[in-house]
Chains A and B, each alone.
Chain A
Amino acid sequence: MQGDQILDCKGLSCPMPIMKLAIAMKKLDTGKVIELLGTDPGSKEDVPAWCDRTGNSLLEVVEEDDGFTFFIRKE
C-alpha cells in the first residue's frame, strides 16, 4: 500500500504526531491517503481513536522495524 502523502513523525512524542496529522488532513482532498510514520507507542492507540472520532478511515497499520506506519484516508 502507498499513501498520497507521507507524514514523517518518527522520533516525535505526544502531542506532535496527532497534531501534525490533524493539520495535514485539513489540507488534504477527500479520498486521499496519508501515510504516517511514527515511533511513539502512544500513537498506536491515539491514531485509531482520532480516526474514529473524526470519521476518517484507518485503512491499515503496518508494524515496522522501529515503529508503525498508519494509512489514513480522508473521508
Chain B
Amino acid sequence: MAETGLKKKGILAELYGIFFSKSWPMWVGGILLGVGNILLFLVLKPWGASGGIYVWGANLFNSVFGTGFGFKGGPLPPVGMFPYSIICFLLLLGAMGAALMAKQFAFRFPPVGELLKGLIGGVIMGIGAVVGKSCTLGGFFSGMAALSMGAVVFTIGLGIGTWIAVKYLIFEITKFPKVSSGKTASLLGAGKGKGSWQPYVGALVLIWGLVIAFKYTDSSSVRAWYAAIGLFFGFVCQRSRFCLVRALREPFTSGDSKPAVGAIAGILVAMFGFTVIKFMGIRGDMLWVWPHFWLPAIIGGIIFGVGMTISGGCIVGSLWRAGEGHIKLYFALIGAALTMPFATKYIAAPLYAALPASMQTKVFLPNYVGYGASVGIFVLFLLVWYYLVKWNERTGKFSAY
C-alpha cells in the first residue's frame, strides 16, 4: 500500500477545522444572522444595537454623577435587565470566544491617532444614532427587513456618510500618514508556536456566555433567549467577519462585493421571516418602523455613516472586533456610549421638537401598497444593489483603488 505521508486528522480535529481554520463566507454569516434575527423577533423584537449602548452610557452617568437620564420617555432600565444591553454584551463575549477558539485573539493596541479616531468615530456615531433614531441595525439590516421606508432613507444616508468619510480617510493616509503610524503593541496573541491555550479559554468564554443565558431563565425567558442569540450573533460575526460598514464602504474603496452580498443575504432572509411574523399578526406590524422618515433618517444616516467609517466599525462591528481584542473599537464603543445620553437630550430632543410632524413619520410600506408589492419592491431594491456592487467590482467605477 502506498504511503501517503499524511496523518489522518481525528474526527474532532476535523470538526474544529470546519469551524475555525478559515473564515466563513460572509453570505453564510448573513444568512445565519438573518435567521437569528427572525428568532429574536419571535422572542420579542428584531435586532438592534444603539439602544443597548445608550443604556450602558446612561446607566454609567446616572450611577456616577447622579444624572437623571431616562429611556424613551420612561425610567432607565438597568444594564443587566434591558434585553438590548444584554445582547450587546453577549455579542462581544461570543466574538471573543470565537476569536479565541480560532486562535485569532490578541489585545491589539494601535497608534494613539487610531485610538482617537475610534473615540471620535464613536462620538459621531452616537450623535447619528440618536438623530436618526437607529443604527446600521434598526435603520438598515433589521429596518429594511421590517419593510420600513425610513430604513431605506437611513441606508441612503449611511451610504453618503460613508462616501464622505472614505474621502477623508484617503486624504488622511496620503497627507497625514503619522496619524495611523507609531508605537503599537499586541498582548496575549497567538502566532508561530504560541497561543495554543487560546481555544481552551475560548471554550470557557463561550460556556460562560451560555451560563449567563441559562441564569436568566430564572427571571425571564426573553432575556435568556436574547443572551443566547447575542452569543450566537457574536460568534457568527467573528467567524464570517460580517461587517455592515464594509458592505457600504468597499464599493468606494477596494470594490470587494462580498460584504454587501453578505448584508443582502441577511436582509433577504430576515425580510421573509419578519413579513410572515407581521402578516400573521404574531407581533405588531409597526415594530422596527421608526418615526424618522425622512429628514432625521437622512441626516442621522449621514452622520452615523461618517462616524462608523472613521472608527472602522458600526455598533455591532465595534462590538465583535472589541471581542477580538482591537482596542480602537473599545474606544469607539466608549465614544458612542458616553455621547448618546447627552446627544439625545441636547440634540435629538430639540431637533424633533422643531421638525414638523410630516418629517418624522413612520412609513410602513405595506400600509400603502400591501405586503406582496412591498416585498417585491424591497427585493427589487436588493437586486439593484446586488447588481451595482457586482458591476462596480468588475469595472471599478466607484472604487478608489
**Residues of A that sit less than 8 Å from B by CB:** 8, 10-16, 18-20, 22-23, 25-26, 39-42, 44-46, 49-50, 53-54, 63-67
The reply to whether B180 and A12 form a contact with Cβ atoms under 8 Å apart is yes
Answer whether residue B34 sits at the interface, using C-beta atoms and an 8 A cutoff.
no
Question: Is the CB of B31 closer than 8 A to any CB of chain A?
Answer: no
Q: Are B256 and A53 in contact (CB under 8 A)?
A: yes
Q: Which of B102, B109, B173, B255 is in CB contact (< 8 Å) with A11? A: B109
B126 to chain A, nearest CB (A): 19
**Whole-angstrom distance from the CB of B173 to the nearest CB of chain A?**
5
Cβ of B151 within 8 Å of any chain A Cβ, yes or no, is no
Q: Pick from B99, B186, B253, B393: contact of A66, CB below 8 A.
A: B186
A13 to B246, CA, bound (A): 12
Report the separation of the CA atoms of residues A10 and B109 in the bound assembly, to the nearest whole angstrom: 9
CB distance from A53 to the nearest CB of B (A): 7
**Contact B99 A11, beta carbon cutoff 8 Å:** no
Residues of A within 8 A of B401 (CB): 22-23, 25-26, 54
Query: Given A20-B173, A23-B401, A45-B23, are A15 and B312 also a contact pair (CB < 8 Å)?
Result: yes
Q: Is the CB of A63 within 8 A of B192?
A: yes
**Which A-B residue pairs are the 8 nearest by beta carbons?**
A11-B184, A22-B401, A11-B110, A41-B104, A65-B191, A66-B186, A13-B326, A10-B184
Contacts A15-B246, A16-B114 given: A23-B191 contact, CB under 8 Å?
A: no
Shortest CB-to-CB span from A61 to chain B, Å, is 13
9 contacts between A and B (CB under 8 A): A13-B110, A13-B114, A13-B321, A16-B114, A16-B173, A16-B312, A22-B254, A39-B186, A67-B189
Report B166-184 CB contacts with A as 1/0, cut-off 8 Å: 0001100110010011001
Q: How far is the CB of B390 from chain A (nearest CB, A)?
A: 13
> CA A20 – CA B99 in complex, angstroms?
25
- Count chain B residues whose beta carbon lies closer than 8 angstroms to a beta carbon of A: 44
Chain A residues positioned under 8 Å from B191 (CB to CB): 63-67
What residues of B have a CB within 8 angstroms of the CB of A49 in the complex? 256, 258
Question: Which residue, B22, B181, B253, has most C-beta atoms of chain A within 10 A?
Answer: B181
Interface string of B19-31 (1 = CB under 8 A from A): 0001100000000
A-B residue pair count with CB separations less than 8 angstroms: 102
CB contacts (< 8 Å) of A8 on chain B: these are: 181
In the assembled complex, which residues on chain A have CB atoms less than 8 Å from the CB atom of B99?
41
Known: A23-B173, A65-B192, A65-B194. A18 touches B324 (CB 8 A): no
B257 to A, closest residue via Cβ: A53
Q: How far is the CA of A50 from the CA of B306 in the complex (A)?
A: 24
A66 to B104, CA, bound (A): 10
User: Per-position contact with A for B300-342: 1 when CB-CB < 8 Å, else 0?
Assistant: 0000000000001100000001001010110000000000000
Q: How far is the CA of A23 from the CA of B171 in the complex (A)?
A: 10
* Cross-chain contact A67 with B186 (CB below 8 angstroms): yes
Known contacts being A11-B114, A11-B184, A13-B326, is A66 close to B189, with CB within 8 Å? yes
Does B6 belong to the interface (CB within 8 Å)?
no
User: Chain A's nearest CB lies how many Å from the CB of B192?
Assistant: 5
A20 close to B180 (CB less than 8 A) = yes
In the complex, which residues of chain A have a beta carbon less than 8 angstroms from the beta carbon of B102?
Answer: 41
On chain A, the residues within 8 Å of B104 by CB distance are 41
Contact among A13, A15, A44, A53 for B329, CB-based, below 8 A: A13
Residues of B within 8 A of A11 (CB): 108-111, 114, 184-186
Nearest A residue to B111, CB-CB: A11
User: Are the C-beta atoms of A22 and B312 separated by less than 8 Å?
Assistant: no
Known: A12-B114, A13-B114, A22-B400. 17 other contacts (CB 8 A): A8-B181, A11-B108, A11-B114, A11-B184, A11-B185, A12-B180, A12-B184, A14-B313, A16-B173, A41-B23, A42-B241, A49-B256, A53-B255, A53-B256, A63-B192, A65-B192, A65-B194
> A19–B255 contact, CB under 8 A?
no
Q: Are A19 and B173 in contact (CB-based, < 8 A)?
A: yes
B243 at the interface (CB under 8 A from A): yes
Q: Contacts of A45 on B, CB cut-off 8 Å?
A: 22-23, 241
Contact yes or no, B254 A64, CB < 8 A: no
State in angstroms the CA–CA spacing of A13 and B114 once bound together: 9
